[in-house]
Structure 1
Amino acid sequence: MGASVWPDAVWLNNLLAVLQAAQLALLRLCHALGLTGDSHGQPAWPWARRIAGETLLIDPGLARQLAWSIGAMAFALLALVLALAWRRGQLASFGAGALALILAPWPTPGLVLSPAAPTSFHVSPTRFAVASIARGERVYTQHCAACHGDDGRGEGPLAASLSRWPPTLAGPLLGRRADGELFWHVVAGMRGRDGQPTMPAFGTTLGDADVWAVIDYMKALSAGTGARLQGTWPTPLALPDLPVQCAGAAPRPLADWRGTQRVRLVAVDGHAALPMEDPRFLTLLVTPDGHAPAEVPQFRAGCVAATPEAWAVMARIAGVPAAALPGTALLSDRQGWLRARGAPGQAAWRESDLLCTAGQAGGQRQSADARIDTPVDTPVDGLTALLLRMDAEPVRFVKGGFVH
């Protein structure tokens, strides 16, 4: 996730960004020209293949081949334009362009391209909101838990009766799939290499809103199971959007603070003292009923998550039972990524509270056992040290093969 995760991070990130932008531009152009229609309310990807950004990410050699080949095509195009504009040097320009194409290290198409679905580039309309996650939990419990399990590890009561065990939803691999492709797997089902169904299609059972909601819930479920079992979040998780009410003012979406302000969520149930305000972040209370405490002492936090559904969603993400949630804190960075979890009654923030660390996207992240479960050994307090580290190691989450 950090900018230094890969030695070739800068050029590789730029290459992935250019490829993603090019595919999206091509999709929009085809849709505008009427060459492709809609699928589930958004423009449909018209081809069976897309660029395999996830493969380029783990194979820099292949990425270099593709980058040089793209450069050769650009040079050849420039040579063609020059040849058409400059008759005296026409032969030399044509020759230079042809030579560039001949010498280009063309990669094998089967390695650069991967299977695509009509919804591969679809964007979730839910904004990863608390209401959607809560709705997704109800859908998951009714339609998915029997096979995937209550904790998402693929060990539900019906799992053993299937021809193939369901994939775990709590690991990093599934969490890095593009949302549009996860959507397609749910609505169209999945088949093994032998063509036999490995997951039923829910396209006739669930509406689009339910499918997007259950995808949101799977992200929260993955985070909570990872936090509970490994002490880390398997993949970066955005701070869920929800209505925020401060001092009786009209509710505002939490997304209004994204990109400008860190946010600290603190679960309170009326028995513990309210946390102090802190100018370094917005402190947001999460209460069981979604209402602010009746009395808020001076300098204490008073903004509240104005929805009772936030309590269960925060407990799920934190990986703790709802009854044990009071006093738990979640901390997000300025870009809206959840980064740390503080335990109830903890005197000081510790390095092990950083559940989303730099390196998750590139495989260099510290293991839970390798982190020191003691206050951060710096001249500043533990919370300040965590904030400085979060700012120094911004999230560069690779999902669907492209940096988010």
Structure 2
Amino acid sequence: MNAPPPQYWLNALLIGIEHAQLFLLRVWHALGLTGDSHGQPAWPWAQRIVGETLLIDLGLARQLLWCVAAMVFALLAVLVAILWKRRRLPVLAVGALALVVAPWPASSLLFGPAVPTSFHASPTHFSVDAIVRGQQLYTAHCVACHGADGRGEGPLAPTLSRWPPTIVSPLLGRRADGEMFWHVLDGMRDKQGAITMPAFAGELDDDDAWAVLDYMRVLSAGTGATVFGSWPVPLRLPDLSVQCGNNPPQTLARWRGSQRVRVALADGKPETLPLEDPRFQTLVVTRDAQPLRNVPQFRAACIAVSPGAWQVFTRIAGLDDTQQRRVIGTTLLADRQGWLRARGAPGEDAELLCKVGNVAAKQDLTALVLEMDREPVQFVKGGFVH
């Protein structure tokens, strides 16, 4: 019998580690042993368990998994010893032996530097409004070093002591959100203490910093789709306002978890709206973001009414907004959990840009939908596994 694929047990292990650290943080905060930082409980220790390392070092992850199993076994031994007094010493000895023989990983590999905001969560909900705001701030403060495409090749990059990292990278994308937030506001230094990125705390407030990070995710996806033909890290559907027919607008987040979504870039003319597809809830995105009128039968009737939706989705798709023939008719497909998975060019089959395992680059739509359902995006702390 073959062992289960690594992403399944690794995903479970990393989720457990994240929840354990979050639980410890909440307990510490409730006891008054740590305060707040930027409006959320502050991580009080200088280190944390680094899920990013476990993600790329399966040997270390297996060591930790065996150690967790040994600790659970030892705990059960203690419970049995309490209930079975006649065999207390042998049972405790077996539990202690499990802890002794467990392959404890080196602390230098398991733990990494932490900051007070390491476990902070973004309050923006990855909304279109925040992304548009983030683009403005990125252009004003970040382009000079990180470049317009996010690849670290801005005009000031050659003058720096260290070349700026590309944000079009799975490794950078797997950094914890709270730590990226901290570095935006507090800056970065090398081991000698020299500044490698300036602090923007005096120019950006907390919401601004989170908005910049939201736009960086979109920029990473768009550049990755253009240059490499894939999204470096999985991307959620941005939240926005949706209006279906004459019904009041609602948030796109209400669809998450219940249905797949097909985003269709269209010109808004009734006769050119995409046909409904029972496999998806279709969301039309137009330049003017105006409610649809006189929609013909069987045509999609839900439209994004957030003004920045067109700008955001064309960027995610890696499209040049000036090339209308390539833009109008483009579709983006999201799974039931709200993860964007595929892009379809006008008149062509959709292509997975967020792949799990070895799958064909292009498939007919039914096969692609089945692939999306069969291979969901796997969550890990500090990033995601396609």
Q: Same fold (TM over 0.5)?
A: yes
Note the 1:65-76 alignment, pairs <5 A: 65-76=63-74
Q: Does 1:214 align with 2:196?
A: no
Q: CA deviation at 1:258?
A: 0.5
Q: How many residues align?
A: 381
What per-residue deviation string (whole Å, max 9, x for no partner) do you get for residues 345-400 of structure 1? x1x414xx2111114xxxxx67xxxx666xx3xxxxx2222212211221114451
- Which of residues 124, 127, 141 in structure 1 aligns to 2:125? 127
CA contact (8 A) 1:49 1:116 kept: yes
What per-residue deviation string (whole Å, max 9, x for no partner) do you get for residues 250-287 of structure 1? 10100101011111111122467111111211111111
Secondary structure of 2:193 counterpart: coil
Q: CA deviation at 1:30?
A: 0.5
Q: Distance in 1 between matches of 2:32 and 2:102?
A: 34
- One-letter amino acid of the counterpart of residue 385, structure 1: A
Secondary structure of 1:322 counterpart: coil
CA contact (8 A) 1:53 1:402 kept: no
**Comparing 320-329 and 89-98, the one that deviates more:** 89-98
CA contact (8 A) 2:51 2:381 kept: no
Identical aligned pairs, as a percentage?
Answer: 62
Q: Distance in 2 between matches of 1:339 and 1:48?
A: 36
Note the 1:46-61 alignment, pairs <5 A: 46-61=44-59
- One-letter amino acid of the counterpart of residue 349, structure 2: W
Q: CA deviation at 1:401?
A: 5.8
CA contact (8 A) 2:128 2:312 kept: yes
TM-score by length of 2: 0.92
Secondary structure of 2:214 counterpart: helix
- One-letter amino acid of the counterpart of residue 95, structure 2: G
- Which of residues 188, 207, 224 in structure 2 aligns to 1:190? 188
Q: Distance in 1 between matches of 2:299 and 2:164?
A: 47
What per-residue deviation string (whole Å, max 9, x for no partner) do you get for residues 285-318 of structure 1? 1111111343321211111101221011111111
What per-residue deviation string (whole Å, max 9, x for no partner) do you get for residues 103-154 of structure 1? 2222111111111111111111111111110010011011111111111011
**Comparing 237-246 and 291-300, the one that deviates more:** 291-300
Aligned to 1:379: none
CA contact (8 A) 1:16 1:402 kept: no
Q: Does 1:175 align with 2:176?
A: no
- Which of residues 338, 341, 351 in structure 2 aligns to 1:339? 341
What per-residue deviation string (whole Å, max 9, x for no partner) do you get for residues 162-191 of structure 1? 111110011211111111111111111111
- One-letter amino acid of the counterpart of residue 315, structure 1: T
Q: Distance in 2 between matches of 1:263 and 1:5?
A: 33
Q: Distance in 1 between matches of 2:161 and 2:291?
A: 50
- Which of residues 217, 222, 225 in structure 2 aligns to 1:224? 222
Secondary structure of 1:394 counterpart: coil
Pair 321,403 (structure 1): closer, same or farther in 2 beyond 3 Å: closer
Q: Distance in 1 between matches of 2:13 and 2:191?
A: 31
Aligned to 2:137: 139
- One-letter amino acid of the counterpart of residue 280, structure 1: R
- One-letter amino acid of the counterpart of residue 334, structure 1: R
- One-letter amino acid of the counterpart of residue 340, structure 1: A
Structure 2 regions of 5+ residues with no counterpart?
none
**Comparing 40-49 and 269-278, the one that deviates more:** 269-278
Q: Distance in 1 between matches of 2:245 and 2:170?
A: 40
Q: CA deviation at 1:6?
A: 7.2
Note the 1:228-307 alignment, pairs <5 A: 228-270=226-268, 273-307=272-306
CA contact (8 A) 2:283 2:303 kept: yes
Pair 120,320 (structure 1): closer, same or farther in 2 beyond 3 Å: same
Pair 83,63 (structure 1): closer, same or farther in 2 beyond 3 Å: same
Q: Distance in 2 between matches of 1:222 and 1:278?
A: 30
Q: Distance in 2 between matches of 1:15 and 1:217?
A: 30
Aligned to 2:107: 109
Q: Distance in 1 between matches of 2:117 and 2:361?
A: 43
Q: CA deviation at 1:321?
A: 1.9
Q: CA deviation at 1:161?
A: 0.9
CA contact (8 A) 2:379 2:385 kept: yes
- Which of residues 360, 365, 369 in structure 2 aligns to 1:387? 369
Q: CA deviation at 1:83?
A: 4.1
Structure 1 regions of 5+ residues with no counterpart?
360-364, 377-381
CA contact (8 A) 2:129 2:308 kept: yes
- One-letter amino acid of the counterpart of residue 228, structure 1: T
Let me know the Cα RMSD of the aligned residues. Answer: 2.2
What per-residue deviation string (whole Å, max 9, x for no partner) do you get for residues 176-212 of structure 1? 1111111111111111122211001112221000000
Q: Distance in 2 between matches of 1:269 and 1:64?
A: 52
Pair 270,401 (structure 1): closer, same or farther in 2 beyond 3 Å: closer
Aligned to 1:18: 16
CA contact (8 A) 1:285 1:292 kept: no
Secondary structure of 1:227 counterpart: helix
Secondary structure of 2:121 counterpart: coil
- One-letter amino acid of the counterpart of residue 25, structure 1: F
Aligned to 1:362: none
Pair 385,77 (structure 1): closer, same or farther in 2 beyond 3 Å: closer
Pair 82,296 (structure 1): closer, same or farther in 2 beyond 3 Å: closer
Q: Distance in 2 between matches of 1:300 and 1:101?
A: 63
Greater RCO, CA 8 A, separation 6+:
1
Aligned to 1:203: 201
- One-letter amino acid of the counterpart of residue 275, structure 1: P
Q: Distance in 1 between matches of 2:244 and 2:197?
A: 45
